[in-house]
Amino acid sequence: MADPDPAADGGDPPESDPIVEAIFDAVAATAPEIRAALPGRRVESGTDNPSGESVLAGDLYADELLADALTAVEGVGSFVSEEREAAVDAGGAVGEGAYAVAIDPLDGSSNLRSNNAMGTVVGVYDAPLPATGRDLVAAGYVLYGPITTMVVADADGVREEVVTESERGSVDRSIVEGDLRLPDDPLVYGFGGRVPDWPDDFTAYAREVEDELKLRYGGAMVGDVNQVLTYGGIFAYPALVDAPDGKLRLSFEANPIAYIVERAGGAATDGEVDILDVEPEGVHDRVPLYVGNERLVERLKAALD
Ligand SMILES: O=P(O)(O)OC[C@H]1O[C@](O)(COP(=O)(O)O)[C@@H](O)[C@@H]1O
Ligand SMILES: [Mg+2]
Ligand SMILES: [Mg+2]
């Protein structure tokens, strides 16, 4: 369930965390370089990642750039990536003043060839990984769409920034929405996986939602979730009959998205429990993800019961 908004009780909003600020400064600073590098990196790298998926040159480039940038941040003790088997030790004791950062360097990379939206997903944990989402202190994503935006959720709430490259070669960031909240009236839905692979109970739920909302599925989680955050609705990459854990990874896809959407007033579940309560065994564990307006998520859980 959504955490109470610290500022809503009339109290002072919590001070922003300087390490978290430095992490998202580093992520924003890499965004123009990643975007500029994509045209020449649409080809297969010839390698597979720990999830057994083929990796594009763009995935590896983004991973290298973000690894260098994030492990250099004072207060980052460990770095985990979709493209790396194990955590990279960045110095500093995670959980005792240092954070573990988990990233999906390029989410939706299959959209690179078709020139559709992609992104970078970031989770900042106050515990060594694998950890539950309750150990997140912040999360965010960069969305490489017609413009480059960055959504950041932390103790202060959820904000959306536009990230542009300045003449000086650095980045300019302007907050376009300082208190992002899911609209109460949902408008869109996007469900991944092939329809014949959906379990019957999810298919029945999908048929109901299809009669109520507009289909918005672009094939990149960050783009599809950003539609839900903007217009209200639900995104799912469900459990499939031949993949009961779905496709998305908990540490650097589902948990960060769940943290963001919960702080924006929504909900996120694996079909049974809150995503943020799922106990992983490994940093590459997959989990079904259903995320969006609370009422739609509650109906989903009842449908899968
Ligand atoms: O191609 P499918 O099966 O629709 O899967 C799309 C899903 O796979 C992903 O692309 C997986 O992420 P990566 O591209 O980071 O591996 C998600 O962004 C997206 O939601
Ligand atoms: Mg991804
Ligand atoms: Mg990826």
Q: Give me the residue label for tokens 């009959």.
A: 241
Higher-pLDDT residue of 231, 47: 231
- What share of the chain has pLDDT > 90, as a percent? 85
Point out which residues pair with 272 in neighbouring strands.
none
170 is annotated as contributing to ligand binding: no
Give pTM, 2 decimals.
Answer: 0.94
Tell me: pLDDT of 283 over 90.
yes
Q: What is the DSSP pairing of strand 76-81 with strand 88-89?
A: antiparallel
Tokens standing for 76?
């980052």
Tell me: pLDDT of 4 over 50.
no
Residues 152-201: pLDDT tens digits?
999 889 999 999 998 777 899 999 988 999 999 999 999 999 999 999 99
State the angle between helix axes of 221-231 and 255-263 in degrees (0 to 180), rounded to the nearest 10.
10
pLDDT class of 7 with cuts at 50, 70, 90 = very low
Residues 86-134: pLDDT tens digits?
999 999 899 999 999 999 999 999 999 999 999 999 999 999 999 999 9
Q: Is ipTM strictly over 0.95?
A: yes
Q: What is the DSSP pairing of strand 289-292 with strand 44-48?
A: unpaired
Tell me: pLDDT of 220 over 70.
yes
Domain 18-177 in CATH 3.30.540.10? The answer is: yes
Query: Are the CB atoms for 80 and 102 separated by under 8 Å?
Result: yes
Tell me: pLDDT of 238 over 90.
yes
Return the ligand number nearest the Cα of 235: 1
CA of 91 to the centre of ligand 1 (A): 31
Return the ligand number nearest the Cα of 106: 3
CA of 51 to the centre of ligand 3 (A): 10
Tokens standing for 269?
């579940």
Segments making up each domain of the chain, as ranges? 18-177, 188-304
Higher-pLDDT residue of 208, 176: 208
pLDDT score of 9:
46
For every residue of 30-44, DSSP letters joined together read: HHHHHHHHGGG--SE
107 is annotated as contributing to ligand binding: yes
Q: Give me the residue label for tokens 């980052």.
A: 76
Rounded (5°) CA angle 86-87-93? 150
Q: What is the CATH number of domain 188-304?
A: 3.40.190.80
Phi, psi of 42 (to 5 degrees): -95, 5
Tokens standing for 27?
């992520």
pLDDT score of 177:
87
The minimum-distance atom of ligand 1 relative to the CA of 82 is 15
pLDDT score of 12:
58
Pocket, ligand 1, Cβ cutoff 6 A: 53, 82, 104, 107-110, 192-193, 219-221, 237, 247
Query: Are the CB atoms for 290 and 271 separated by under 8 Å?
Result: yes
Question: Which residue has its alpha carbon closest to ligand 1 atom 1?
Answer: 219
What mean pLDDT, rounded, does the chain reach?
A: 94
Return the ligand number nearest the Cα of 222: 1
